[in-house]
């Protein structure tokens, strides 16, 4: 069975290269590791991604090539891009059928339909006493006898 994490999922801590951390846990690790780092090893944070930590000289070079910068610039330029043209006009399709001119039909009432036709009913009996259920069944037998 293959391992669930790949080698690419691990990154080295910028404070201590011996610390190899899962990429998803790097932010939490950096908070702890930065507290324990010596004063000589003070690193500055990239303005585009807080997980990118460099010394002052390397930070200036990193800012120019940071991959997060490109995505933020694209996001900012979305507002400046010209609006997309309106979609093509809608086509109207001629049809002889007009549902507004159909005759009014009464609303379907399933209870009324069941009372008028030979349909076995049992709704409304849940939770009723034994005598109520017995009377309902007797009434249903009479109704069926009359309809047949």
Q: What is the pLDDT of residue 53?
A: 85
Nearest to 69 by CA among 89, 48, 98: 48
Task: Give residue 84's pLDDT.
Answer: 66
Contact, 32 vs 40, CB < 8 A? Answer: no
Residue 94 has pLDDT above 70, yes or no: yes
- In the chain, the percentage of residues whose pLDDT exceeds 70 is 85
The answer, yes or no, to whether residue 33 has pLDDT greater than 80, is yes
List Cβ neighbours of 56 (8 Å cut-off, separation of 6 or more): 44
Q: Cα separation of 140 and 145, whole Å? A: 9
Give the pLDDT band of residue 131 (cuts 50, 70, 90).
Answer: very high
Residues in the chain: 148
**pTM for the predicted model, two decimal places:** 0.43
The residues near 81 (Cβ < 8 Å, ≥ 6 apart) are none
Mean pLDDT over 22-41 rounds to: 78
Domain boundaries, the chain: 7-76, 110-147
pLDDT grade, residue 1 (50/70/90)? very low
- Are the CB atoms for 48 and 65 separated by under 8 Å? no
Distance CA 116, CA 135 (A): 19
Among 3-17, 19-33, 60-74, top mean pLDDT goes to 19-33
38: confidence class by pLDDT, cuts 50, 70, 90:
low
Of 75, 82, 76, 72, nearest to 52 by C-alpha is 72
């Amino acid at each position: 069975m293959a391992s669930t994490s790949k080698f690419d999922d691990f990154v080295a801590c910028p404070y201590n290269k011996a610390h190899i951390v899962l990429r998803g846990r790097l932010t939490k690790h950096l908070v702890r590791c930065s507290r324990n780092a010596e004063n000589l090893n003070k690193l500055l944070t990239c303005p585009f991604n807080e997980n990118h930590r460099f010394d002052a000289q390397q930070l200036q070079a990193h800012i120019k090539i940071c991959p997060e910068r490109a995505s933020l610039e694209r996001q900012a330029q979305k507002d400046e891009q010209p609006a997309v043209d309106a979609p093509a006009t809608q086509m109207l399709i001629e049809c002889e059928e007009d549902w507004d001119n159909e005759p009014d039909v009464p609303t379907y009432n399933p209870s009324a339909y069941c009372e008028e036709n030979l349909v076995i009913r049992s709704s409304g009996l849940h939770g009723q006493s034994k005598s109520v259920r017995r009377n309902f069944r007797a009434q249903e037998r009479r109704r069926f006898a009359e309809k047949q």
